[in-house]
Amino acid sequence: MTSRAFLRPALITAGALLLTGTLAACSTGAPATEGGGSATDAATATSAEDFGGIEGLVAAAQEEGQLNVVALPEDWANYGEIIAGFEEKYGITVNSANPNASSAEEIQAAENLKGQDTAPDVFDLGSAVALANTDKFAAYQVENWDDIPAENKEASGLWVNNYSGIMSLGYDADKFAEPKALSDLLGADFKGAVALNGDPTQAGAAFAAVGWLSALNGGGVDDFGPGVDFAQELRDAGNFLTLDPTPATIASGETPVVLDWSFNNAAAAADKPSWKTTTIPGPVYVSFYNEAINKDAPNPAAARLWQEWIFSDEAQALFLEGNAVPVRIEALTQAGTVDEKLIEQATFGTDSADWVSPDQDQVDAANALLAERWAAVVK
């Protein structure tokens, strides 16, 4: 569990998901590879067709032999299995650097390592960082492009939403009864116990947590004021814990109640059997991350093959198994390739009609409010 930075707004509707009511130093760096029998500039390819088809892309990527990723913790949205699946299927080594980095640090790594074999080939980014850095991305449309809702992708393929989380409450069931209402967290039983996953002015999980608190207190996605007010109430009651949660702090009992993405809270149960995850009745905060290719990727063919993998049925199902909601869930559901129980599990039984998420203007407004007021909560 890590504090990944700013998510892109979900921009989805119940109809878009069709969840039937329910609801993550050997590179060649060469500009040209062989694909489909003809020379292909992998760094400018915008689809597999530029390689003569998917087999040509696979051949070009295997010639490069490796892929560099950053900020992909193995326990985040099932990325451990997703990376292993890519390596096994294509025989390409994935070099995973600084898994606990933020989105901003991903971009910084690309800038610092530009022109080097160790630069990141692909990005997994949150909203504010992704939309501020589109000039660093290469446009690419995967074979499953038409299965991805228009609102979940940039038209040319500069970025594409890949998976989402449900904002949730994780708690140690050996110490606490399941909270049934947000006001329960203000009780004496929760003294020094309630933590967010990071600083909401920097981390997407914490940002969303404040958004969720706001929505549950009657605020809108354009007004995080009620969320900040509730956090202040938690602080005044002595219940707000400023320690950033990790699997280790949860397992040790240092952070016994955590507001975080559902896939993070669910994963924590592996090391803490008494760790349970729930939601609070009312609006549910949902948002997507963004997949993008570094336009200066040292392994440009492998970067594009990774993109194809991320949006394949196999990898999208692996997101779902990790309690993240994959962007192609409608297509998977229609094809009957996913277990409805997994959808129920990933969404924690929430109804998509209750999902809320801000658009970019609302994210900007929320960031401005947090920049002005959050320091007073944690002082």
Q: How far apart are CA 199 and CA 5, in angstroms?
A: 9
Query: Is there a domain that residue 272 lies in?
Result: yes
Mean pLDDT of the chain: 88
Residue with the larger pLDDT of the pair 327 and 351: 327
Which residues lie below 8 Å from residue 267, measured CB to CB, with a gap of 6+? 1, 75, 76, 247, 322, 323
Query: Is there a domain that residue 22 lies in?
Result: yes
Please list the residues that pair with 172 across neighbouring strands: 275
CA-based nearest residue to 162, from 136, 144, 181: 144
Would you say 104 and 128 are in contact if contact means Cβ atoms under 8 Å apart?
A: no
CA-based nearest residue to 85, from 373, 295, 322: 322
Would you say 287 and 38 are in contact if contact means Cβ atoms under 8 Å apart?
A: no
Domain shared by 350 and 365, yes or no: no
Query: Is there a domain that residue 38 lies in?
Result: yes
CATH number at residue 170: 3.40.190.10
Domain shared by 252 and 265, yes or no: yes
pLDDT at 25: 33
- Report how many domains make up the chain: 2
Domain shared by 224 and 128, yes or no: no
Would you say 168 and 349 are in contact if contact means Cβ atoms under 8 Å apart?
A: no
Q: How far apart are CA 315 and CA 321, in angstroms?
A: 10
Q: How far apart are CA 100 and CA 15, in angstroms?
A: 34
Domain shared by 68 and 213, yes or no: no
Domain shared by 36 and 66, yes or no: yes
Query: Is there a domain that residue 187 lies in?
Result: yes
Query: Is there a domain that residue 256 lies in?
Result: yes
Domain assignment of residue 290, given as a range: 8-164+286-354
Q: Which pLDDT band holds residue 379 (cuts at 50, 70, 90)?
A: confident
Q: Kind of pairing, strands 160-172 and 257-261?
A: antiparallel
Please list the residues that pair with 277 across neighbouring strands: 170
CA atoms within 13 A on the CB side of 96: 16
pLDDT at 202: 78
pLDDT at 221: 78
Q: Is the pLDDT of residue 320 over 60?
A: yes
Q: How many CB atoms lie within 10 A of CB 269?
A: 16
Query: Is there a domain that residue 2 lies in?
Result: no
pLDDT in tens, 104-157: 899 999 999 999 999 999 999 977 678 889 999 999 999 999 999 998 999 999
Domain shared by 275 and 294, yes or no: no
Domain shared by 36 and 117, yes or no: yes
pLDDT at 7: 38
Q: Is the pLDDT of residue 173 over 80?
A: yes
Domain shared by 150 and 57, yes or no: yes
Domain shared by 250 and 363, yes or no: yes
Domain shared by 198 and 209, yes or no: yes
Would you say 346 and 77 are in contact if contact means Cβ atoms under 8 Å apart?
A: no
Query: Is there a domain that residue 365 lies in?
Result: yes
Query: Is there a domain that residue 1 lies in?
Result: no
pLDDT in tens, 303-313: 999 999 999 99
Lowest mean pLDDT, pick from 13-27, 186-200, 239-253: 13-27
pLDDT in tens, 30-74: 444 444 444 689 999 999 999 999 999 999 999 999 999 999 999
Domain shared by 39 and 151, yes or no: yes
Domain shared by 95 and 170, yes or no: no
Q: Decide: pTM greater than 0.85.
A: no
- Percentage of the chain modeled with pLDDT above 90: 68
